Chains A and B, each alone.
Chain A
């Protein structure tokens, strides 16, 4: 699995950070998404899918092989 984010669409809801703090973080200035792990390990993948599904800005894209 590969993850990409579009900071331009991010609404800073913080839900991705709550769902998978190992993969997503927020900028201290304006809360915009920061991607820490573009290739999350197997045990985090289902949480990453949830984060993408609930993102209010649809800013998270999950690329599955």
Chain B
């Protein structure tokens, strides 16, 4: 027998290297050497790691790859994640036509025109939290005082969830997203969130408002459990992601003063800069997960039915055949081909909202705090590596 190929020893998840923004070096090497390769999971099972842009789009856009975690062979990141995915799945873990039925109940709320109409409200929210943060002396934790409250309040407003309950659902969301949460912890956090949202739905059956939860109830074709499940997905997906993007984007710009200066001199770059930051940071660090339901060839490799596939969005977004000098942050480049929101029928439903929130939050932060800087050495900033969504524990800043 020949020695085990070192690439065969790839594990999921893997540690990041020297640059905290870059994907694990082992995955970036896989992209160069064996773009579709075997990887071992926490429980010793195997899956395929897909690293190239073209191949990631091929898997995500192909119905032979299922997002249904109840199908045999579906790859899980941990025991806790299996617990979350396997029970009462929401439409992110369904295939069409079931998935499309639920998704289409919400797409009307996320069309560009309707999201753009939220601009003045989001600007007020952003200004409000910045006013509060700057009303006391620096330093401040930008995560707790700005990056997290902005999208939390926005998603509460859209769903019709009382913002005063934010500590309750933020704490439980975090347990759901943390890799090392046990199955029992995940079950409990999910059940508590689900009960909370079902109680809220019950109240809204009696006193409806004009927000998403009430509109879902008013359709009349969803059970209370289904309404709560869809609300839970939106609530969790809607605040942790944008919050972590805001914090990491701020840090990446503070770390790269030349790019920050370009953005400061020409605020019209903000839209493109947000796309570039989405590409550069690729916060969904575990990638997107699928299982083959028929055999399919991807990048010259045959994947058999029943084999799991991990699409590494972060390496696809650093594929030099699509993005020149991918390791560089360049706020002037056209990064719109990135797959930070995924690809195919599950591509992020909330993307117009996330884009608008990020554009407003970052533009306002840069404009209002021209002397914004880190209050600790860069090396002391604590990253969240043990989560589905990459982020920061806190971001101490001064101005």
Docked Cα-Cα span, A14 to B103, in Å, equals: 14
Considering the chains assembled together, what is the distance between the CA atoms of A31 and B347 in angstroms?
14
From the candidates B104, B112, B337, B344, name the one contacting A17 in the complex (CB within 8 A): B112
Asked whether, in the complex, the Cβ of B337 is within 8 Å of the Cβ of A30, the reply is: no
In whole Å, how far is A9's beta carbon from the nearest beta carbon of chain B? 9
Closest 9 CB pairs of A and B: A31-B107, A56-B347, A12-B107, A31-B111, A14-B112, A26-B111, A17-B112, A30-B107, A30-B104
Nearest Cβ on chain B to A63's Cβ, whole angstroms: 21
- CA gap between A12 and B352 in the complex, in Å: 10
The answer to whether B352 and A14 touch across the interface, beta carbons within 8 angstroms, is: yes
Asked if A18 and B345 sit within 8 Å, CB to CB, the answer is: no
Do the beta carbons of A19 and B336 come within 8 Å of each other?
Answer: yes
Identify which of residues 1-60 in chain A touch chain B, using a CB-to-CB cut-off of 8 Å: 11-15, 17-19, 26-32, 50, 53-54, 56-58
Q: Is B113 an interface residue (CB 8 A)?
A: yes
The verdict on B61 contacting chain A, using a C-beta distance below 8 Å, is yes
Contact B347–A11 (Cβ < 8 Å)? yes
| Interface, chain B (partner A; CB < 8 A) | 60-61, 103-104, 107-108, 110-113, 115, 334, 336-337, 341-345, 347-349, 351-352
The answer to whether B108 and A58 touch across the interface, beta carbons within 8 angstroms, is no
Residues B345 and A57 in contact, CB atoms below 8 Å apart: yes
Cα A57 to Cα B104 in complex, Å, equals: 14
A-B contact pairs, 15 of them (CB 8 A): A12-B103, A12-B104, A12-B349, A18-B112, A18-B352, A19-B336, A27-B108, A27-B111, A29-B108, A31-B110, A31-B111, A54-B336, A56-B60, A56-B342, A57-B345
Most buried by A among B111, B336, B337: B111
Centre residue among A11, A19, A28 by max chain B CB count within 10 A: A11
Q: State whether A11 touches B345 (Cβ < 8 A).
A: yes
Given contacts A14-B351, A14-B352, A58-B61, contact A30 B108 (CB under 8 A): yes
Q: Can you name the residue of chain A whose Cβ is closest to the Cβ of B348?
A: A13
Instruction: Determine whether the beta carbon of B112 is less than 8 Å from that of A54.
Output: no
Q: Is the CB of A11 within 8 A of B336?
A: no
Is there an interface contact between A13 and B113, defined as CB atoms closer than 8 Å?
Answer: no
Residues of chain B within 8 A of A19, CB atoms compared: 336
| Given A15-B336, A54-B337, A56-B61: A31 in contact with B342 (beta carbons within 8 A) | no
